[in-house]
Amino acid sequence: MVLASPPVAFLLRKVVIMPFHIVLIEPEIPPNTGNIARLSGAMGAVLHLVGKLGFSIDDKHVKRAGLDYWDAVDIRQWKDLEELQAAFPDGRFWYTSKKAVKTHLQADFLPGDFLVFGKETLGLPEDLLQRNAERSIRIPIHTSIVRSLNLANAASIILFEALRQTGQLEEDG
């Protein structure tokens, strides 16, 4: 389901061959989702919200974090990951987890890939990660004191690496 149709100005911006997709599974914290929406709008990514959200999409905190950029974001909502995957049967999905063996720098991103992030408190389900171990990636953390990175920061890091690998950071629009 498409939540917001991008305005004509968004559609006329520099054409991306195939945009990346950021997938948030049951996000819980409104400012994280708002910041990721802003990131998606700025970088031409499609934002997919999957499952039960921990807030209303109209929540003032989500809108505040996204500021006045909501019209530039292609946001779609799905009841579950299976529904999203059925809509994109040829999609390549990368699953993020601090438990993954491969780092995001070892991934071989292609335009149009889906970057999947779990809820802030629990991450992605263990069985999903086990079934997709070859497509599970992590961001290296150099200390055991910090358990994980903020969701919006992690989405930014992985999206920018995917854009870098595919030559989409050469110019800005």
3 state DSSP class of 2: strand
Q: Provide the pLDDT confidence category of residue 12 given band limits of 50, 70 and 90.
A: very low
- Whole-number pLDDT of residue 72: 80
Nearest to 157 by CA among 118, 103, 120, 76: 103
Alpha-carbon distance of 43 to 46, in angstroms, equals 9
Alpha-carbon distance of 112 to 91, in angstroms, equals 7
> Is residue 13 predicted with pLDDT exceeding 50?
no
Vertex 1 angle, CA 7 and 109, to 5°:
80
> Is residue 130 predicted with pLDDT exceeding 60?
yes
Alpha-carbon distance of 35 to 145, in angstroms, equals 25
The residue type found at 93 is F
- Whole-number pLDDT of residue 10: 47
Percent of the chain with pLDDT over 70: 82
User: In the predicted model, what is the mean pLDDT of residues 110-126?
Assistant: 96
Asked whether 73 and 40 are in contact (CB, 8 A), the reply is: yes
Give the model confidence (pLDDT) of 48-85 as tens digits. 999 998 877 765 665 665 556 777 889 999 999 999 99
Order of strands across the sheet that contains 46-50: 2-4, 74-78, 46-50, 21-25, 114-117, 93-96, 136-138, 102-103
pTM summary value: 0.86
146 compared with 132, residue with greater pLDDT: 132
Q: Kindly list the structural domains of the chain, giving each domain's residue range(s) and its CATH number in brackets, ordered by start.
A: 2-11+19-165 (3.40.1280.10)
Alpha-carbon distance of 46 to 78, in angstroms, equals 13
Asked whether 117 and 151 are in contact (CB, 8 A), the reply is: yes
Helix (H) or strand (E) segment spanning residue 33: helix 30-43
103 compared with 1, residue with greater pLDDT: 103
Alpha-carbon distance of 80 to 83, in angstroms, equals 6
User: In the predicted model, what is the mean pLDDT of residues 113-131?
Assistant: 96
3 state DSSP class of 3: strand
Query: What mean pLDDT value characterizes the chain?
Result: 86
